[in-house]
């Protein structure tokens, strides 16, 4: 696909927790990026999906991957609770 969007990105973007979990159990790379450098955790954080963020982190998602605009997962956070989760997993904090 021209946007490099993979099935895990789509499952997370559309909030499909079950599909996301199956893909992660099937060894989908949680740190693969699309053409803009977005990783799946960015979408989960932006949508305040604590369940998806937790699952992605359990499978090795990195929160300090920068997209093409230089933004990390914490940049997409809208709540103090989500920021706290991200900061606990950010190697730069």
**Which DSSP state fits 35?**
T
Helix (H) or strand (E) holding 84: helix 80-89
Confidence at residue 40, expressed as pLDDT on a 0 to 100 scale: 97
Q: What global pTM score does this model have? A: 0.90
> In this predicted model, what pLDDT tens digit does every residue of 27-78 receive, in sequence order?
999 999 998 999 999 999 999 999 999 999 999 999 999 999 999 999 999 9
Specify the pLDDT at position 5: 81
With the CA atoms of 37, 39, 44 and 48 taken in that order, what torsion angle do they form, in degrees rounded to the nearest 10?
A: -50
Query: Can you tell me the distance from the alpha carbon of 27 to that of 82, in angstroms, rounded to the nearest whole number?
Result: 25
Residue 1 has pLDDT above 60, yes or no: no
Homologous superfamily (CATH) of 7-89 is: Ankyrin repeat-containing domain (1.25.40.20)
């Amino acid at each position: 696909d021209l946007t490099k969007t993979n099935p895990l990105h789509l499952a997370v973007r559309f909030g499909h927790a079950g599909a996301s979990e199956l893909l992660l159990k099937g060894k989908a790379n949680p740190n693969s990026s699309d053409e803009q450098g977005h990783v799946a955790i960015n979408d989960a954080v932006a949508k305040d999906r604590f369940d998806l963020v937790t699952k992605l982190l359990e499978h090795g998602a990195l929160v300090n991957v920068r997209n093409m605009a230089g933004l990390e997962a914490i940049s997409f956070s809208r709540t103090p609770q989500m920021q706290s989760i991200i900061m606990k997993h950010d190697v730069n904090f």
